[in-house]
Amino acid sequence: MEISGRHVVITGASRGVGAALADEFAAKGARVTLVARSIDGLTAVGERTGGTIVPADLADPAEVDGLIGRIEEAHGPVDVLVNNAGIDLTGAFTEMSADDIQRMVQLNAVTVADLTRQVLPGMIARGGGHVVQVSSLAGTGTFPGISVYGGTKAFVTHMTAGVRLEMKGLPVGLTVVETGLITPTDMADSVLSYPPTEASFRRFYRLLLLADADVTAVARKTVRAVERGKRSVRMPARAFLFPMLTNAPRRLVEMFLLGVPRRVQD
């Protein structure tokens, strides 16, 4: 997909990966719409990218309901949706509140599924589009302290694989981004603030099985994946074995489904 001139909607765009993605898409000539709860952060990113800001609490189902339609009515059809918004509340599972679990599942999983559902019909009708799901290697193999977060990311990765099968034959791309800790970000600071989680990461670093991913590099590789229609972005490269093993059953099912008729546009 040619990025220049495309309308790209990025959630969680006020900081971290979302802000870096906004910078990268804008540098490629895209028209960006930035969605997040933090108005101050959105304003700063919007000013430097020329993007439109849409303040919204994506953990609130009422604000998510019909969001894509409202954006398209005000700013035009969405060519690329980047589902980046998410939260990680690191800590002992038994000490998490029901509200903490509900908010994480709502934002990291339910909102991602709902926004994907909202945007795909228009892309199909217009004959093209792309959805990026910012998942995590935590959805492949989780550590203590991030059990709920890892579960939500496993949902995103698995759901997207199923949606991709339903899009077979249609000109709509889906990319899953799976990374380790992305630095510098507030989420990385949060994850490493809980000693059992921090110790687990340090062990994997010593074994050379993980390394931090730079936020700018993640953004660049993600934009390149949209341009080239790639199905995945995985960083660091040394951790390829974990998602490969986890994805093996999904890919095997896809091989068995090769005889299923491709969808055609109505």
Q: Where does the pLDDT of residue 261 fall: very low under 50, low under 70, confident under 90, or very high at 90 and above?
A: low
**Chain CA centroid to CA 191, Å:** 18
Closest CA to 38 of 15, 71, 67: 15
149 catalytic per annotation = yes
Is 260 among the domain residues? no
Q: Is the pLDDT of residue 192 over 90?
A: no
Give the separation between CA 207 and CA 45, rounded to whole angstroms: 37
Least confident span in 79-88, 129-138, 190-199: 190-199
List the CATH number of the domain containing 78: 3.40.50.720
Is 248 among the domain residues? yes
Q: Which domain holds residue 71?
A: 7-254
Cα 146–152–157 angle (5° rounding)?
120
Q: Is the pLDDT of residue 207 over 90?
A: no
pTM listed for this prediction: 0.91
Least confident span in 6-15, 27-36, 170-179, 207-216: 207-216
pLDDT, residue 180, reads: 86
pLDDT, residue 111, reads: 98
**How much is the mean pLDDT over the chain?**
92
How many Cα atoms within 13 Å fall on the side-chain side of residue 259?
Answer: 1
Q: Is the pLDDT of residue 260 over 60?
A: no
Catalytic residue among 54, 71, 137, 149: 149
Q: Is the pLDDT of residue 265 over 70?
A: no
Is the bond preceding residue 261 a cis peptide, omega within 30 degrees? no
Cβ neighbourhood burial of 249 (10 Å; 0-12, 13-18, 19+) = exposed
Is 1 among the domain residues? no
